[in-house]
A and B are shown apart, each in its own frame.
Chain A
Amino acid sequence: MLKKKPSPEDQAEPLTRRKVLSWLSGFSLCGSAIITVFSNFTFITPRATYGQPNRFSVGRPEDYPPGARIALEAQRICMVREGNQMAAISTTCTHLGCIVASSETGFSCPCHGSRYDQDGNVTAGPAPKHLPWYRLTLAPNGELEVDKDTEIEVGTYFKV
């Protein structure tokens, strides 16, 4: 066989079996490490939460007379009824998670002085966004159901 004179590139980087194998094993070790970290994070991310459910019943529409603004403290929402329109507004301050209190002009937060109007729009303070409105549905048994996982646009009322 004729021996070819190796070009400078070949001389610099001869691709040996050893090199390929160490590259492959290094790659698989790194891959396993990444998969391990990822699966551990998946493990500690809860699939089911044990606290309060995010979908719950808040009673029948008749329980809320027109013009009512009733805060359900444990569920951290405020039920609003104007005429035959209803809405569920969050009472968790969008700033740092304190509970806002109802005030004459709307809502006010005791922690950092954020203020909101009747619809939950920010009027003062450090709160970065409006109080979320949650979707309301009427369950077959005639009870209103709040879904805190689904935010809707401010001012979108549910007709009862």
Chain B
Amino acid sequence: MSQPTLATSYLKRGLSRQTWIITGIILVLLHLLPWAIPQIVHIVIMIYLFATMGQAWNVLGGYTGQFSFGHSLFFGLGAYVSTLLYLKLGITPWIGILISSLSGIALGLFIGALSFRYGLKGPFFALIMLAFAEIFHMITMGWNAVGGSPGLLIPLKGNAPHLMQFTSKQPFYYMALWMMVGSLYLVWRLEKTRTGLYFLSVREDHDAAEALGVDTFKVQMIAMAISAGLTAMIGTIYAQYLLFIDPDSTFGILNSVEIMVRPIIGGPGTVLGPLLGSVVLTPLAEITRLAFQSYSGVYLMWYGMILVIVIMFLPHGLMGMIRQIIDKYRKG
């Protein structure tokens, strides 16, 4: 490797003009997609929503190395907070989504303070998250004031943009698209900042990071706040999109798996991994759900199989595979 000059920076982020132009073209095409192929809008919305949640999980799990096994907690919290605010107090979900996000952050920081203060990591942190998600699952199941096990129905008001209700899917498509693009951009920028590098150092070696002046507690709390706040926002959008939430589909353990399996298969700790994982898995789940309607849960068998294959042959996920191919191409 030649002696690098200081004009070229290896830490800063920059894309070539070519890449920016291609990205721009892809973005424009994605904006035109609902008009071009309206049949697949629903699936693409789900791809975006899960890609965004995967990205949120990725900040904590992929970059900071704290695997959360209960991210449905923040998703469910976001869905319930905005829905209850609307149903009980008549507060529009546009404000609800902010309050959802803030309550997600607050709960995330509370759990973070409990766990990171005592250096919990690995399976112990995963179980703490699972436990909290189950606590909320049980509370919402049993407490009739918040809907109980039948869940909550958001009354249909027709096309009511001020209540985040639309008769067509297009507005949700654009909301989901921009949430996804925003989260992608945020993480992409974050990756090469001091905070981003600190996330990685905590994942790689806690003690070494601490010895180099990294406040590991604070760094993990920041990752937790970003992750929780973003996931809760998606919870609100999801609730408004389906106009129905129940404890199983929000706080349920399967939902946690749904959130974490995409970044793991796509490549944890990479910017594009969650999106890639979502592009592959979300249609697969939806299609198998349609194809095997009478056998509920078949899509989970698919997840299991893919997960086994990916962990055995692609330890760095699909992104790792792509990177290998690019390296080979460059050398050869």
A and B associate in one complex: no
